[in-house]
């Protein structure tokens, strides 16, 4: 049985799945900076954080590959020729190398944790900034670039792919095509505006239907305030769904070379409060719960504890349903 089989069985059985917290933003709080996503200079810290999420009870951890692609390097040069002229040696290949390294570190952390049943989700994010849908490349370009990343993640050993923080349906379709071609199961997650639509303006219901038609196992929302999760979950009914919102407020840095999502006012969402919200999301139909930027291992642990309670409840309900099927009189007594 593969690691993803364990997660698949939980979803098919109607039980909750806990998603590990963010990598990039949490590493920044620990003093690990943008350069090489920390994997060039702070691989031990990256591996350790994966391990902390596993120890906290995450069923799925996400690779440290958010916004990691060739574009983040090329965007600071005039063009490829300019990058080769003044850029560091091998810069045009660095994204691919770091993507492989991200999966390798996750696999090492899982092996050390003894949590072989936990799955590693390779993250495919928007090729440009996740909050700037106007920068999204045209479909053919997005499809080719996501395909390159999906193959690297699959070959490196990811168990599934998460299309994370997708802000337009067009790019989400391109990433879904890439995930399907790579041969891995995939989940699709969207970032929404205050109107409940994708940042690109499309209806969440339309996007969810398109992703399920494309083969997504689950559809989620992320990088939205926790207070917006409930209404989103109502829209996502009809299949496995979930949420991993950010905590606090986005506070972008002022210099691109230090870029990574940072959030302030996160103290308003301590782990206990997030666990209470997670319980409400479970009642609203979410099977997959987690938290994004602004959270850390303590939040994952709180959600894992709450999810164990929800899992016991679902098993008890299932057992009661079986008993009622044998004796309908029990239904009225319940």
Q: Tell me: the pLDDT tens digits for 207-229?
A: 999 999 999 999 999 999 999 99
* Distance in angstroms (rounded) separating the CA atoms of residues 321 and 158: 37
At 130, list the tokens.
């996740």
Instruction: Tell me the backbone φ, ψ of residue 82, rounded to 5 degrees.
Output: -65, -40
* Distance in angstroms (rounded) separating the CA atoms of residues 98 and 38: 9
pTM score of the predicted model: 0.90
Please determine, for residue 141, whether its predicted confidence score (pLDDT) is greater than 60: yes
* Distance in angstroms (rounded) separating the CA atoms of residues 68 and 124: 8
Q: How confident is the model at residue 323 (pLDDT cuts 50, 70, 90)?
A: very low
Instruction: Calculate the average pLDDT of the chain.
Output: 90
Average pLDDT over residues 57-72: 94
* Distance in angstroms (rounded) separating the CA atoms of residues 14 and 8: 10
Q: How confident is the model at residue 321 (pLDDT cuts 50, 70, 90)?
A: very low
Residues 6+ apart with CB under 8 A from 281: 229, 230, 233, 242, 243, 289
CA dist 294 → 224, 249, 271 (Å): 11, 8, 11
* Distance in angstroms (rounded) separating the CA atoms of residues 251 and 248: 9
For the chain, which domains are there? 3-333 (3.20.20.330)
Tell whether the torsion through CA atoms of 97, 101, 103 and 104 is positive or negative.
positive
pLDDT of residue 264: 85
* Distance in angstroms (rounded) separating the CA atoms of residues 334 and 320: 9
| Of 255 and 135, the one with more pLDDT | 135
Give the pairing type, strands 160-166 and 186-190. Answer: parallel
Average pLDDT over residues 131-137: 95
pLDDT of residue 1: 64
* Distance in angstroms (rounded) separating the CA atoms of residues 29 and 26: 5
Total residue count of the chain as it appears in this document: 334
Yes or no: say if 109 and 64 are a contact pair by the CB < 8 Å rule: no
pLDDT of residue 66: 93
pLDDT digits (tens, 9 = 90+) for 153-185: 999 999 999 999 999 999 999 999 999 999 999
Residue 218 burial (10 A CB sphere; 0-12, 13-18, 19+): buried
Average pLDDT over residues 244-257: 77
């Amino acid at each position: 049985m593969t690691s993803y089989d364990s997660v698949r069985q939980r979803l098919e059985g109607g039980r909750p799945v806990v998603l590990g917290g963010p990598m990039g933003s949490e590493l920044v709080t620990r003093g690990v900076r943008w350069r090489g996503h920390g994997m060039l200079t702070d691989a031990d810290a990256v591996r350790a954080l994966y391990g902390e999420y596993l120890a906290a009870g995450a069923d799925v951890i996400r690779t440290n590959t958010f916004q990691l692609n060739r574009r983040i390097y090329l965007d600071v040069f005039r063009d490829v020729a300019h990058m080769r002229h003044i850029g560091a040696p091998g810069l045009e290949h660095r994204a691919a190398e770091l993507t492989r390294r991200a999966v390798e570190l996750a696999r090492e952390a899982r092996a050390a944790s003894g949590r072989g049943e936990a799955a590693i989700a390779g993250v495919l994010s928007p090729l440009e900034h996740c909050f700037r849908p106007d920068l999204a490349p045209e479909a053919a370009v997005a499809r080719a670039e996501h395909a390159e990343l999906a193959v690297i993640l699959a070959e490196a050993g990811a168990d599934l792919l998460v299309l994370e923080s997708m802000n337009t349906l067009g790019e989400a379709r391109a990433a879904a095509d890439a995930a399907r071609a790579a041969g891995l199961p995939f989940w699709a997650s969207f970032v929404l505006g205050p109107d409940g639509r994708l940042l690109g303006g499309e209806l969440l219901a339309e996007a969810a239907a398109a992703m399920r038609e494309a083969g997504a196992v689950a559809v989620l929302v992320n990088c939205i305030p926790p207070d917006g999760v409930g209404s989103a979950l109502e829209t996502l009914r009809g299949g496995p769904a979930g949420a991993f919102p950010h905590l606090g407020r986005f506070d972008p840095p002022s210099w691109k070379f230090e870029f990574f999502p940072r959030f302030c006012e996160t103290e308003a969402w301590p782990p206990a409060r997030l666990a209470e919200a997670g319980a409400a999301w479970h009642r609203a139909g979410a099977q997959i719960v987690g938290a994004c930027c602004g959270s850390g291992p303590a939040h994952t642990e709180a959600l894992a504890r709450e999810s164990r309670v929800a899992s016991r409840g679902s098993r008890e309900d299932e057992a009661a349903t079986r008993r009622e099927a044998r004796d309908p009189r029990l239904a009225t007594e319940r």
